[in-house]
Each structure stands twice: as structure tokens, then as C-alpha cells.
Structure 1
């Protein structure tokens, strides 16, 4: 197949691009377009694309300027909230990591000591009235007792978990 360009193709292309076909076209150019297959195809395709473009432009509905402005402000505000929340998230991750480290330390120390608090829990479960003095060995005196490590560490972990939950609640609360 041999493709030959028509000598009037550039003129017709210019008139189609400006949207002046066939109103501003000379009569001899209109007669040529009817006779020339290449020019007729170009006109047909160009007018079909122009019609489709017009239909799609009619369907496109842009929101009002106020809505666009409101959405831009909302995006700006959300970006600022994300930027502010980053340190809070880092603090939450660090608190969680610290809790895991303390729990690991607790397990490690208890395994090294032979887990003496298991016997305390067993004796507490057997008696109806729990005797707190039975927790301390007879030789321990004063406020600090060596066996209190497990109890104080457990209480500390529970308090840390509760405080972590409270901090998380207030940090993640939405307005």
C-alpha cells in the first residue's frame, strides 16, 4: 500500500484544528475533500474526536472553589496532625520496647533465682486468709527484703503497663 499525502491536507488540518471546518473553508476545498479519500478520512476522524471531546467536557463537573479550598485546608491540617503525631508514636514504640526489656529482665532474674514466688502463690492459694508475713523469710528485717524483688518488679511492670495504656489513650484520642 502506498500512502500519498494530499497537497490540501495541511490546509484542511489547519481549518479543523481551529474549528472552522466547513464554515470558513473555500468551496473548492470542500469539493476536494468530498472527492479525496485521505482528506475525507482526516475530516471524519477529526470531527469524531472533537465531538467526543465536547461530550466529555460537558460531563466533567468541577466542584466549587469553596469545596476545593476546604479540601486543601483539610489536607494541610491532616499533614500537620501527622507531623505532630510522629514523636508520640516514637514515644509509644520506645515505651513498648522498654516494657519488653523489663519483662525480659524480670524473666531472666527469676530464672536465675529459681522462681521462689511460685511457692508463695501456692501457699496463698491454699490458705483462705492470706498471711503476708509468710512471704518474708524469718531472717529478713527492715523495709527491704531480698525476696521482694519479684513482687516489686511485678508491681512496677503492672504500673508501667497501666500508664502506657493511659498515655496511648490520650495520644490516640481523636478530636
Structure 2
């Protein structure tokens, strides 16, 4: 599946032992383009998403500040506006991803790091469009959407054998 990414990606490698910015941008474009190609996501022209690649220490601070959870997590998403109806934009929002947690989870799940990173970018993108997993019904809907997007990228179902522990 090769689809153009419909949003501009503003990428920052803030902290952590990440690949090059070029590699991360290619992975992000692949994940976000697949989310748009598979799902019913709608944005206005010239929409931007911010991707911050950081470490566990920084994401723990953010998690504590915004979610009152004093622990690192794999991904946090912050929608750019309060709109609940499409189309969204021009600032879609921020997705922050923690290096050590993503690497650790990929090893624990026995999956390639890139597959897990793509999954988390897709997960974060869906959050920016109002998807959530706080209650079982919402979690099932969000996971089903993730499965479809990842299947279109030939990435195996991440929930099949060992579900990713949703940080509820």
C-alpha cells in the first residue's frame, strides 16, 4: 500500500536512542497514510500533525501532568482543537512516543520494533480523531480499526496473542 500522507508531519527527535529523522519520518508517513487510506478520517487542507520522539523520563512527566499517572507510557496524544466533528485541522494535534517503552514492549511481544512503532503511531493518530479505549465498547472499536489499518500494511494483528496493555 503506497498512499500519500494527507497531512504535514512536524517531527522532533527530542530524546532517546531513535533512528534518524529521515527513517522516523518515513515510518510516520507510512503509518499515517495507511490510517487515512483505511479509515474515514477527514481533515482540512494544510493540516499538520506533530510527532515527538522522546524518552521514558519525559513521557512520564507528561503522563503525570496530563493524566495523573506517574509512570512512563508508550504513546500520548493531544488533539489540536476541541472540535468533535470532521473535518479536523489545521493543527491535528501532537503524538508523543517514548523510546525505551516502545523497545521494551516490542521485545516482550516478540514483534519487530518498526511494527510496534507503526502501531503506536496509528493508535495515536486515531486518538486525535476521537477514538478512545476507556470503556470496553470503545476499546473494541478502536482495536478493530487498528487491526484493519495494520492488516493493510501486512502487519500482524497486535492484539491476537498478547494484547497491548492499554494505559487506561
> Is this a same-fold pair by TM over 0.5?
no
Write 1 or 2 for the structure with the bigger share of helix: 1
The TM-score with structure 1 as length reference comes to: 0.17
What TM-score do you get using the length of structure 2 for normalisation?
0.18
Could you say which structure has the greater relative contact order, defined with CA pairs below 8 angstroms and 6 or more residues apart?
A: 2
Larger radius of gyration: 1
